[in-house]
Amino acid sequence: MNFKNFVGNDSIKKQLLPLFLQNKISHAIILVGEKGLGKKTFAKIVAQRLICSSVTDNNPCENCLNCKKIENNVHPDVIYPEKSGTLQSYSIATIRKIRLDAYIAPNEANKKIYIFSNIDNMGIPAQNALLKILEEPPKNVFFILTCISLSNILPTVCSRVQQFSLDRVDILDLQNYLLKRYPEKSEENLKKIAEISQGNIGLANDLLASADFEALIYETKKIILALCSAKEFDLIEAVGKISENRKDFLIGLDFLLNIFRESMILSVNEDFDGDNVCVKRISETFSTKQILNLLDVISKTKNYIDKNVNMSILSTYFASSVFSEAYRKN
């Protein structure tokens, strides 16, 4: 893949590509954006562009040995540091090894690249350790960092990197992408998935990987209707069905986030085109404050999934928390 066929995000391309031509690309960049927007893919394209031996029209050629090795994750000079611990983050020991390794000459390319993912999970001591190499990096050493949010990253780290934000793509662009990538799927289903995922390519691909996404979305909608009707037993039953599989539960929560966000917009803007039945039902049932609190519960549950919390416990927590939050007496 190259920048041309990376779907959407023209703004980040317009910011980044001229820097390559002018040889002004920073030794450290950070890609910011929610899960599923293609940060890891984009980081790999940047790495290819940095050490491609046959750059074509300011894009990696995808055919040279460097490009192919990066694509297959086997290039010795493109390093993905090891993660550890419950949060699957980077330890101080790992960062110290990187600081030493950075001074060793590249094996095959003329540059050395370190790609760190989700550094917003990195602890403060490890960030301080990373800061030392970011402040005075060896020549021809580059760092590509990704994160969901900058809020957990030290201001001193942010000040040492160029920041680029990835956004959701236009739904029509996502539809066209899905139609090209999955020609064996029905056009109707692909359009429905594009609408559900609201421009999040990762979520769209996860939905297509689900054994039966229609059944999954049906059960997720039942959660909304049960919550709006104050039917706690129906809510628990629907949550239990979508949480039987960790990946399906995550997809369901992403769908819920999208619906509740649209409900939030509709609750403060009556002109918003929220024609989805679930969106309207939520905005009619709950106040803006309640919707915000429910969004917080959904987001927290997603974070617990990423931390590998027991699914049975998590399912009970989610059902109990959304119901109590929805009908808590102020």
- Asked if 18 and 145 sit in the same domain, the reply is yes
Tokens read off for 113: 């690249």
Domain boundary among 110, 134, 165: 165
Q: Find the mean pLDDT for residues 299-307.
A: 85
What is d(CA 239, CA 233) in angstroms, rounded to the nearest whole number? 10
Only one residue has tokens 């694509």, namely: 71
Contact 39, 31 (CB under 8 A): yes
DSSP letter at 84 equals B
Contact 287, 263 (CB under 8 A): no
Tokens read off for 41: 């893919």
Could you read off the pLDDT of 216-271 as tens digits, one per residue?
888 899 999 999 999 999 999 999 999 988 888 988 888 898 788 888 887 776 65
What is d(CA 95, CA 143) in angstroms, rounded to the nearest whole number? 12
Q: What is the mean pLDDT of the chain?
A: 89
At 167, the amino acid letter reads D
In a domain, 94, yes or no: yes
The alpha-carbon radius of gyration of the chain (Å, integer) is 22
- Asked if 230 and 161 sit in the same domain, the reply is no
What is d(CA 253, CA 51) in angstroms, rounded to the nearest whole number? 39
Could you read off the pLDDT of 27-77 as tens digits, one per residue?
999 999 988 899 999 999 999 999 999 999 999 999 999 999 999 999 999
Domain count, the chain: 2
Contact 60, 52 (CB under 8 A): yes
Q: Find the mean pLDDT for residues 198-202.
A: 87
Q: Find the mean pLDDT for residues 274-286.
A: 81
Confidence class for position 274, pLDDT limits 50, 70, 90: low
Confidence class for position 297, pLDDT limits 50, 70, 90: very high
Confidence class for position 95, pLDDT limits 50, 70, 90: very high
Confidence class for position 272, pLDDT limits 50, 70, 90: low
- Asked if 158 and 216 sit in the same domain, the reply is no
Q: Is the pTM of this model over 0.85?
A: no
Q: Which domain holds residue 275?
A: 210-326
Nearest to 199 by CA among 178, 226, 225: 178
